[in-house]
Amino acid sequence: MIRLQSYLAGRWQDGNGPGTKLVDPVTAETLASASGDGLNMAEALDHARAKGGPALRALTFAGRAALINEVAGVLTENRERYNALSLANSGTTAHDTMLDVDGGIGTLKYYASIGRKLGEVHTLAEAGIEQMNKDENFRGMHLWTTVRGVAVHINAFNFPSWGLWEKAAVALLAGVPFLAKPATATALVAYEMFKDVIAKGVLPEGAASLLCGGGRDLMEHLKPGDLVSFTGSADTALMLRSHPNVQASNIRFAVEADSLNLCALGPDAGPDSVEFGAFVKEVTRELTIKSGQKCTAIRRILVPRERVEAVIAALSASLAKIKQGDPRDESVRMGPLVNASQTQAALDGLAQLKAEARVVVGGGEAKGCFLPATVLLCDQPMTGKAVHEIEVFGPVATLMPYDSVDQAIALAHKGGGSLAASVFSGDAGFNATFVPAIATAHGRVQVVDAVVAGGHTGHGVVMPHCIHGGPGRAGGGEELGGLRGLRFYMQRTAIQANKATLDAFIAKSATVSL
């Protein structure tokens, strides 16, 4: 059995005690264990600030981009081994693994390309100089500079590779050292990836740290200028964000939490339309990819009331074609949930939904960690409560009929804020009304019509070009989004001076327009 160690203060260290077991969700075999007990968090963070920060800030954006590209190269060399580890520790199919492993590598390469374009500079200047009074020489601009703290990245269990590297890529490009804490239950892939990168020596000392196991007193040792980027449950986010030291030190804190993402079928999309077919395909995909264990997965399905029966029939036929089982069988397209505790949590949530909705597609008993894809129907969603508040983190979604566009908009907002929404409609008038009306409740809205039905990236796929995050219960944070992602790791400062002085700053910066 493998013992996962932590890489802190420039050396590999092991925590105290037996730690937490990492298991194969198909066979229940114990694969590894990890413990963070007794590890010196203050030393780890100080080392990152003292060593990693200055080393990264000394490099230009192009120099940091070269490092990021080297990290991607190390991971690419070993991707097949990571794929096998992902299957064993997370029960992922080949496609599921690709989203995680290749997604992490692809995001690194994307941010390396951004860094190369920014060039041999250390700062970013927002486009535009403002004249503020009658003196034409006295003007103002905004300059972005790298913060001098350390970024703590706390990641969820469902994407051990992508979750690690999508945060790391942006932090490294901004010039900020990071300490990553993967969710222990599925940390095997993150650990092996990190071990390979450290062994190659591609990053400066202190630029990257890894904590495997519990964080314990990690929040107590943060200092002003440090940052936290968290992905996980809203309850855990609230606990960490409310920590007295986090509050007293005004730690910049980004959260991606629970999300009741929706998918809406437009009133124009009849059963024979391209949009209807694309809608059924996407809902099926979101229920089965990673067995519904994605923070962006569809949880609420809005359909015109007159289309409910057609949607149920189409989803039933589509899901019936999905084979669930051991992903070592290449014909399997849907694996298990990651462990017994997550399966039980999903069953508990499903039981709460059944108080307001009835199963109309799939369902059935869980066998071990295998939970069948399940679609429920809530006939009167406007009066429902649990269906708008309970996120089952698994292959479960609820159909909600709407009787008017205004009602569909109201239902969208009842989710309290979500990461993603998708709209399947070819009606320009409906889209022009519906999309802006729900945008304030969503971090991303994807509109699919016949033109893009065969080429869109998918409701649940996070692309680094666009922001990832959402308002309200989704946490209120933002990640990625190209250059927008750098803002979290940099300080924007208003500089007021002689125009010639400002021009000198601009000459030594990359100008950005956001």
DSSP 322-359: --BS-TTSTT--B---SSHHHHHHHHHHHHHHTTT-EE
pLDDT-derived band at 299 (thresholds 50, 70, 90) equals: very high
Determine how many CB atoms are found less than 10 A away from the CB of residue 326: 16
Q: How many residues does the chain have?
A: 514
The C-alpha R_g of the chain, in whole angstroms, comes to 24
Helix (H, G, I), strand (E, B) or coil at 35: coil
Cα separation, 205 vs 51, whole angstroms: 6
- What is the 8-class DSSP label of residue 49? I
User: What ranges make up the beta strands (E) of 51-162?
Assistant: 123-126, 130-131, 138-146, 151-154
Cα separation, 366 vs 50, whole angstroms: 50
Q: pLDDT of 385-435, one tens digit each?
A: 999 999 999 999 999 999 999 999 999 999 999 999 999 999 999 999 999
| Nearby residues of 442 by Cβ (< 8 Å), 6 or more positions away | 261, 412, 417, 418, 419, 420, 421, 470, 471
To the query of whether residue 295 is one of the catalytic residues in this protein, the response is: yes
* Ranges of H-type helices in 175-212: 188-200
Q: What is the pLDDT of residue 136?
A: 86
Q: What's the angle, vertex CA 162, arms to CA 170 and CA 72, rounded to 5?
A: 65
Q: pLDDT of 305-320, one tens digit each?
A: 999 999 999 999 999 9
Cα separation, 167 vs 176, whole angstroms: 11
Instruction: Please give the average per-residue pLDDT across 112-120, as a whole number.
Output: 97
Determine how many CB atoms are found less than 10 A away from the CB of residue 195: 16
Q: How far is CA 259 from CA 256, 296, 417, 419, 465, in A?
A: 9, 7, 7, 6, 21
Q: How far is CA 97 from CA 60, 147, 379, 468, in A?
A: 33, 34, 36, 20
pLDDT-derived band at 455 (thresholds 50, 70, 90) equals: very high
Determine how many CB atoms are found less than 10 A away from the CB of residue 384: 20
Domain extents for the chain?
13-257+485-512, 261-472
Which of 263, 295, 369, 378 is labelled catalytic? Answer: 295
Q: What is the pLDDT of residue 78?
A: 96
Q: What is the pLDDT of residue 366?
A: 85
User: Homologous superfamily of 261-472 in CATH?
Assistant: Aldehyde Dehydrogenase; Chain A, domain 2 (3.40.309.10)
pLDDT-derived band at 488 (thresholds 50, 70, 90) equals: very high
To the query of whether residue 70 is one of the catalytic residues in this protein, the response is: no
- What is the 8-class DSSP label of residue 370? B
Q: pLDDT of 336-378, one tens digit each?
A: 999 999 999 999 999 999 999 999 999 878 899 999 999 999 9
Query: Per DSSP, what are the bridge partners of residue 262?
Result: 300, 421
DSSP 464-479: TTSEE--SGGG-S--E
Instruction: Please give the average per-residue pLDDT across 241-254, as a whole number.
Output: 95
Which of 166, 192, 256, 478 is labelled catalytic? Answer: 256
Report the share of the chain in percent with pLDDT over 70: 100
Q: How far is CA 99 from CA 52, 93, 172, 183, in A?
A: 30, 10, 22, 18
Cα separation, 61 vs 114, whole angstroms: 9
Q: Which residue, 126, 453, 81, is CA-closest to 265? A: 453
What are 428's two structure tokens?
């320009």
Cα separation, 42 vs 211, whole angstroms: 13
Place of tokens 């309290």: 416
Report the share of the chain in percent with pLDDT over 90: 95
Q: What is the pLDDT of residue 234?
A: 87
Cα separation, 315 vs 75, whole angstroms: 38
Q: What is the 3-state secondary structure (H, E, C) of 270-330?
A: CCCCHHHHHHHHHHHHHHHHHHHCCCCCEEEEEEEHHHHHHHHHHHHHHHCCCCECCCCCC
Q: pLDDT of 97-107, one tens digit each?
A: 999 999 999 99
Q: pLDDT of 57-110, one tens digit each?
A: 999 999 999 999 999 999 999 999 999 999 999 999 999 999 999 999 999 999
What are 62's two structure tokens?
């192009």
Determine how many CB atoms are found less than 10 A away from the CB of residue 367: 12
Q: What is the pTM of this model?
A: 0.94
Place of tokens 């909705």: 357
Q: pLDDT of 171-228, one tens digit each?
A: 999 999 999 999 999 999 999 999 999 999 999 999 999 999 987 899 999 999 999 9
Q: What is the pLDDT of residue 514?
A: 72
Q: Say if residues 104 and 164 touch (Cβ distance below 8 Å).
A: yes
- What is the 8-class DSSP label of residue 367? B
pLDDT-derived band at 245 (thresholds 50, 70, 90) equals: very high
Residue type, 216: R
At how many degrees (to 10) do helices 405-413 and 428-439 cross? 30
The arrangement of secondary structure in 13-257+485-512, i.e. its CATH architecture, is 3-Layer(aba) Sandwich (3.40)
| Nearby residues of 132 by Cβ (< 8 Å), 6 or more positions away | 138, 139, 140, 496
Q: What is the pLDDT of residue 19?
A: 92
